[in-house]
Structure 1
């Protein structure tokens, strides 16, 4: 028995040493290759490890912008343990590569802990470019087409009026929780058509928890297996293999989130009690197809992605809007004056008012520019080698569109740290003189641009218009009665940039009969 134990240990150590040797050899060979053209400018790279020790795990978007400014370049080249990385700090360069050459730049680098261990390959935002990705995206676009936009707008308005506004009126100190509940309920409704509680719905809370864990697992630096994929083969008993236990638990949670609301939707469809939604509309479209089961599986998988995409970034943008109104009261007052002139005092704003509210539209554009919700974007992956402006871009290179740097370019947006909606207005109307974040950069580039941008923009608009129509957003007072200054700070992770918790007062506006406008919604518990 003892001999067998020693033999097992020897074989395990031998296998581990062999694996380490293979990894080291791979990186040495990769490092020694020299292309005919130079790489784009970048910092000094150490042998083998490259820039792995100098790339920060927090505020990466700020680091890359500052590095590009220091080196005088809008395109950076770095390496991390043999993985080539290109960072694009310029809108023009991003459009040239990610849009005009999208055939080479439309894939995604894989996140091993999600794709291999959690087995969450069905998130189409993370899928490699190919037929499977096309099927999932097509399913999404067929339902969320322009002809169905009115349904999205009606549902967004319903959740703002029945959920967000009454909650802010009754318990204004919980503004962040109310925004998350409203946006999460809206996402659940448009995806699955299920009724949700206006505050802390169980399904919304569960989904939020699962996607928070998923984002954390995929973040750079959280787990070494995302950098060295071969580590997925190490035995569970080895020190440092705790990521495998995390992955197994997350697998169960992700698949439960995919399965349970889908089954609830099907049950309500059979009972005839379901309101229109992505799942029901998509299933009805393929009901009589011979490959129904295969396409239904695709719909089920896409539904899980839709909830995640619609929720996190929309919450971040809405909270950024509230923060901006708190810090820039003059902007808030100007928007309220515009709303009062167009909407009046006896009704709530709706989507028909939007063309007549250019200043509010400019505020939303500035929200997306001032704090881009996905500041480093989703990485693209090159499927072939390329040459751009004399620089060599290797195959298998991660390409990061630094949206923060693009929308904080001092030449395009002077004083970029200042919240200034006027930069998008000329002669009282929206100007075309500067790039519009709604159409450029904020929602990505090329074939991998976010297909749900209009869904998010609908919720952000109606939430912003409705909150400003009824409420004032102001600082809390300290014990001496002085306003507490709030300095804008944002989450350190570069995946989704949301304001750090801040205090503010949400109070009904003077001269506005908020209770009368909200009377029919105040007792609504389920939407």
Structure 2
């Protein structure tokens, strides 16, 4: 009997000690974790994250808890970085452990974007993508791309002249046409070109599927196995439609290149270049080239139009900034020709406008998520393996310490005594707007050049004004790829000379 009591006592003591140890470990873990909002059991902060403009909620939390905030949703830890310093310290300096992607069930697995660069896991496939893009659209390759961008800019101006009210569609057409030529050697034929439309439809699905918290299957991965007729499985029907759009993006332009090459008549492009590297490509190699080309095409199909429409909105609201930019362009060009990439160093104020556009409305305010591949420590905090890491690009570019009155559109913040901002990577929107570390957008220089060329050219030949019969447009950006809410404005040629210049320039680019 005594032995049984002793055994029971030992069992109780061991159980209590084990519980105390586990409790202590939980408290220790919590004490070492970055601060953040208190969630509710099981769900964590799931219901605190809005369905749109998540970056604003994350920004609100950064004001309360600091530039490193940890939340938990459905048991998954996530850390939000809201300062350039934290983003560079972790995503750049420790890129070897912060460059993976978390599993994206909806966007990645069900829709299929995990085949391309954006959702590719960090490894050999990712590195090969980066190598290809560095060769094709890196800084050294821009001189080969400039004529394509200048030609499409001239066509964009002509479309604006003929139907200025459709400026949003024209911006999409211009960006899509330039990348189509670069990626596939395909010349877009019209405003409703089918290949441009294919990219638009696929990117709508990408943006929707990538929204944090938009689909419950991203929280409960086992739901991907339920049949589409099951109650609550509407996401599977959406995923199927999005996947069909993505398949068209992958296959239609790629098949165009192959058919042109087979006929012996094709325009050299990203796709043809890599198809020609080997005459005996395996199916796996061909699928890889197809995924790389689609990644290149989709990467700029929706982001550059976001910046162009933001520029048009900013000029509508700030006529004095527009006038100063026009004066700078006029002083050099005198309405004799359109701006070119070679003029960029001569236009410091136009460059400042471009940087302010990228800061005011970063095209992808949260970027894509990173994932930590091993435990890490930073500023006394413990960051656990498997944690999802978001860099809140919007918050970084609206940091009041770096950019006073961040809601105001003020290009002069990049001039004069602040000119060091132009080259400092930690404060330059031309860098910060495109992500961090080994996951930084490989097309950043291509996009920056395209935005500069369109901004400078529009300033050269158009006046952008408020519509007289409409209230002034509101500043409201929405979407995972952030666009201004639709607004009205007047886009009018500055003079008869401007009209003649637009028409003359568009005729100069009948071919590249």
TM-score normalised over the length of structure 1? 0.88
Asked if residue 60 in structure 1 is aligned to residue 51 in structure 2, the reply is: no
Measured at CA, do residues 283 and 463 of structure 1 come closer, stay the same or move farther in structure 2, by a change above 3 Å?
Answer: same
The aligned residue for residue 147 of structure 1 is: 140
The DSSP-based 3-state class of the residue aligned with 1:78 is: strand
The DSSP-based 3-state class of the residue aligned with 1:297 is: helix
Question: What displacement does 1:195 show?
Answer: 1.6
The aligned residue for residue 475 of structure 1 is: 466
The aligned residue for residue 378 of structure 1 is: 368
Higher mean C-alpha displacement, 382-391 vs 251-260: 251-260
The aligned residue for residue 268 of structure 1 is: 260
CA distance in 2, matches of 1:134, 1:144: 15
Higher mean C-alpha displacement, 83-92 vs 119-128: 119-128
Asked if residue 41 in structure 1 is aligned to residue 31 in structure 2, the reply is: no
The aligned residue for residue 21 of structure 1 is: none
Question: What displacement does 1:522 show?
Answer: 6.6
The aligned residue for residue 16 of structure 1 is: none
Measured at CA, do residues 520 and 119 of structure 1 come closer, stay the same or move farther in structure 2, by a change above 3 Å?
Answer: closer
Contact 1:185 1:198 in 2 (8 A): no
Contact 2:151 2:509 in 1 (8 A): no
Q: Which has the higher helix share?
A: 2
From 124, 136, 160, the equivalent of 1:168 is 160
Structure 1: unaligned runs, 5 residues or longer: 1-28
CA distance in 2, matches of 1:121, 1:243: 18
CA distance in 1, matches of 2:55, 2:468: 34
Measured at CA, do residues 197 and 343 of structure 1 come closer, stay the same or move farther in structure 2, by a change above 3 Å?
Answer: same
Measured at CA, do residues 312 and 520 of structure 1 come closer, stay the same or move farther in structure 2, by a change above 3 Å?
Answer: closer
CA distance in 1, matches of 2:428, 2:419: 16
Asked if residue 455 in structure 1 is aligned to residue 446 in structure 2, the reply is: yes
The aligned residue for residue 342 of structure 1 is: 332
Question: What displacement does 1:337 show?
Answer: 0.3
The DSSP-based 3-state class of the residue aligned with 2:212 is: coil
CA distance in 2, matches of 1:101, 1:254: 33
Equivalent runs, 1:349-428 vs 2, <5 Å: 349-426=339-416
CA distance in 2, matches of 1:360, 1:78: 40
CA distance in 1, matches of 2:150, 2:236: 43
The aligned residue for residue 190 of structure 1 is: 182
The DSSP-based 3-state class of the residue aligned with 1:84 is: strand
Q: Deviation per CA, 1:4-28, whole angstroms, max 9, x where unpaired? A: xxxxxxxxxxxxxxxxxxxxxxxxx
The DSSP-based 3-state class of the residue aligned with 2:113 is: coil
CA distance in 2, matches of 1:389, 1:427: 32
CA distance in 2, matches of 1:46, 1:513: 61
Higher mean C-alpha displacement, 432-441 vs 235-244: 432-441
The DSSP-based 3-state class of the residue aligned with 1:507 is: strand
Structure 2: unaligned runs, 5 residues or longer: 1-22
Q: Deviation per CA, 1:351-374, whole angstroms, max 9, x where unpaired? A: 111110000001000111111111
Equivalent runs, 1:296-335 vs 2, <5 Å: 296-335=286-325
Asked if residue 514 in structure 1 is aligned to residue 499 in structure 2, the reply is: yes
Q: Deviation per CA, 1:347-402, whole angstroms, max 9, x where unpaired? A: 11111111100000010001111111111121110011111111111111110100
Question: What displacement does 1:154 show?
Answer: 1.0
TM-score normalised over the length of structure 2? 0.90
CA distance in 1, matches of 2:421, 2:441: 24
CA distance in 2, matches of 1:507, 1:296: 47
From 81, 89, 95, the equivalent of 2:82 is 89
From 436, 443, 448, the equivalent of 2:434 is 443
CA distance in 2, matches of 1:143, 1:295: 18
Question: What displacement does 1:101 show?
Answer: 0.9
Measured at CA, do residues 34 and 248 of structure 1 come closer, stay the same or move farther in structure 2, by a change above 3 Å?
Answer: farther
Equivalent runs, 1:121-140 vs 2, <5 Å: 121-140=114-133
Question: What displacement does 1:255 show?
Answer: 1.7
CA distance in 1, matches of 2:328, 2:452: 14
From 93, 100, 103, the equivalent of 2:93 is 100
Contact 1:470 1:514 in 2 (8 A): yes
CA distance in 2, matches of 1:119, 1:507: 42
Q: Deviation per CA, 1:35-80, whole angstroms, max 9, x where unpaired? A: 2852101111222111111112221111111121123x11101000
From 113, 121, 134, the equivalent of 1:120 is 113
CA distance in 2, matches of 1:239, 1:222: 17
Question: What displacement does 1:512 show?
Answer: 3.3
* RMSD, matched Cα: 2.4
CA distance in 1, matches of 2:43, 2:28: 17
The aligned residue for residue 487 of structure 2 is: 502
Question: What displacement does 1:335 show?
Answer: 0.4
Contact 1:358 1:429 in 2 (8 A): no
CA distance in 2, matches of 1:428, 1:66: 27
Contact 2:203 2:301 in 1 (8 A): no
From 181, 203, 212, the equivalent of 1:220 is 212
CA distance in 2, matches of 1:117, 1:433: 41
Asked if residue 248 in structure 1 is aligned to residue 233 in structure 2, the reply is: no
Higher mean C-alpha displacement, 419-428 vs 59-68: 419-428
CA distance in 2, matches of 1:414, 1:318: 24
The aligned residue for residue 5 of structure 2 is: none
CA distance in 2, matches of 1:322, 1:438: 18
The aligned residue for residue 224 of structure 2 is: 232
Question: What displacement does 1:428 show?
Answer: 10
